Amino acid sequence: MTSAGEGNGLEELSEMDQQILDFEAHAHKAIALKEKAIRAELDISPVRYHQRLNVIVELPAALAYNPVLVKRLLRKRGEREEIRRAAHGNPDEEH
């Protein structure tokens, strides 16, 4: 990987962060299969995986590492947030 953070103060991705992004790029769509694979391949719980993934996608280094994946994940997260806001009666509210 080229050093996305060199000289500009951006945080580098750890090896685990890279593994999580690589895993997510090729992960099973079926939840049960994905959860088994998370435990087997990354040796972390699915909850910890998703917590870390949510942090990783905010990092500029993640965008540099896999821009297509990170943009897709951010778009999907935004769509889920819109659905939740609409379900609670605040469709235009930001956080």
Parse the chain into domains and list their residue ranges.
Answer: 15-69
Who has greater pLDDT, 73 or 88?
73
Closest by CA position to 18, among listed 4, 8, 33 = 4
> Does the structure show a pLDDT above 70 at 38?
yes
d(CA 74, CA 79): 9
Closest by CA position to 94, among listed 76, 81, 83 = 81
Q: What is the pLDDT of residue 41?
A: 96
Closest by CA position to 73, among listed 24, 5, 4, 31 = 24
pTM of the predicted model, to two decimals? Answer: 0.77
Q: CA angle, 33 as apex, 29 and 38 as ends, to 5°?
A: 95
Q: What is the pLDDT of residue 6?
A: 45
d(CA 92, CA 95): 10
User: pLDDT band for position 45 (50/70/90)?
Assistant: very high
